[in-house]
Homo-oligomer: A and B are copies of this chain.
Amino acid sequence: MIDDNATKRTELADLGEFGLIDHLTSGFTHINSSTLKGVGDDAAVIDHGDYVTLVTKDLLVEGIHFDLTYTPLRHLGYKAAVVNISDIVAMNGVAEQLLVGISVSNRFSVEALDELYAGIKLACDKYKVDMVGGDTTSSVSGLFLSITAIGRAKKEDVVYRSTAREHDLVCVSGDLGGAYMGLLLLEREKQVYKANPQMQPDLEGNDYVLERQLKPEARADVLVKLREAGVKPTAMIDISDGLASEILHIAKDSGLGCRIYENKLPIDVVTAEVAAEFTIDPTTAAMNGGEDYELLFTVDVNDFDKVKAINGIHVIGHMLEKAEGEYLISNGGSLYPIEAQGFNHMREEEK
């Protein structure tokens, strides 16, 4: 009955996540003058006079985005809140409210949901965000989380993805690839445990990457540092799907090309060690491992000295005219085309 009106069947995986979103949303136009920005950035932007309201929504689905065999519910709640707050931060805004939708099967107890909410509350307290509503329902099976974050910014402060300019510098906060290495470690230990439940998990010494995966942070602190240094990014996005995917968003939406330098990529020593253990190139982890939730942004070339002086900000490349394309320049000086191979939850099912 689902396909009653359809003569043709196109699989979801054929379009991929971004293709599907483009396909489904392309028919919608905006009527209200208050809608400054709809689909296509980290958050929607709604005009409220001097200030704008920023709104973003993310779904987290058991078996697709998280695995409860190694994700404590408290961490899951924290992360679910943080990834939405991170979307508001990526617009150069301040998150102020959160709505939480939870759909659970009766496999979960009230005490289990208490743990989940304790994690959400921890994030609300840390980021000074108010939980203002939502919905709680049953599911036939599994746990579904839907979070909506609402933020505020002065209209002139909002930073979009699409406003990078030729010659701008590409910057990133923190370090990259750690969350992905944490995920690989947790997946490996799960397989070991399944094969032999008596085995103790071997996670020692890897706290840093495990925390990157299980308890990411939204880099609101970076916005403060940039403001203090008198730097306003020209374009910005948070890194949820991997650096490659995100810099392509900025480049394409801004109508530009870019160069990223492999030897400038910030990679933590633990990330590099775990990558070596898995015989994965740390550059691949940094470029295509997702969920780091660091900020990727462009700044005017004249702001070079100012951003260099900020601890934890790395200049990793620059923007060029569109015809130059998007390339990674390797340590050896070769050019590799940047391709989005990051997390694609629409395709993961196929694996």
Binding site for B on A (CB under 8 A): 1-6, 8-15, 17, 20-21, 23-25, 27-28, 30-32, 34-35, 37-39, 43-44, 46, 48-51, 53, 55-59, 61-65, 68-69, 72-74, 96-97, 99, 101-115, 117, 121, 124, 128-142, 144, 146, 148, 150, 152, 345-346, 348-350
Contact = CB atoms under 8 A, between A and B. Distances in A.
B134 A57 contact: yes
A269 to B, nearest CB: 31
A12 B104 contact: yes
A97 to B, nearest CB: 6
18 contacts: A2-B109, A5-B72, A8-B111, A10-B109, A12-B110, A15-B110, A17-B137, A23-B110, A23-B114, A38-B133, A39-B132, A56-B133, A59-B101, A59-B103, A59-B144, A106-B349, A138-B345, A139-B144
A107 to B, nearest CB: 7
Contacts of A139: 61, 63-64, 142, 144
Contacts of A14: 110
Given A20-B136, A140-B62, A345-B137, A35 B130 contact: yes
A61 B61 CA distance: 13
B113 A12 contact: yes
Nearest to A69: B1
A174 to B, nearest CB: 24
Q: Which 4 A-B pairs have the closest CB atoms?
A: A6-B111, A146-B146, A44-B132, A38-B132
A109 B9 contact: yes
Contacts of A117: 24-25, 27
B4 A72 contact: yes
Given A6-B115, A112-B2, A132-B38, A53 B58 contact: no
Contacts of A103: 59, 61, 64, 144
Contacts of A13: 106
Contacts of A43: 133
B55 A97 contact: yes
B348 A138 contact: yes
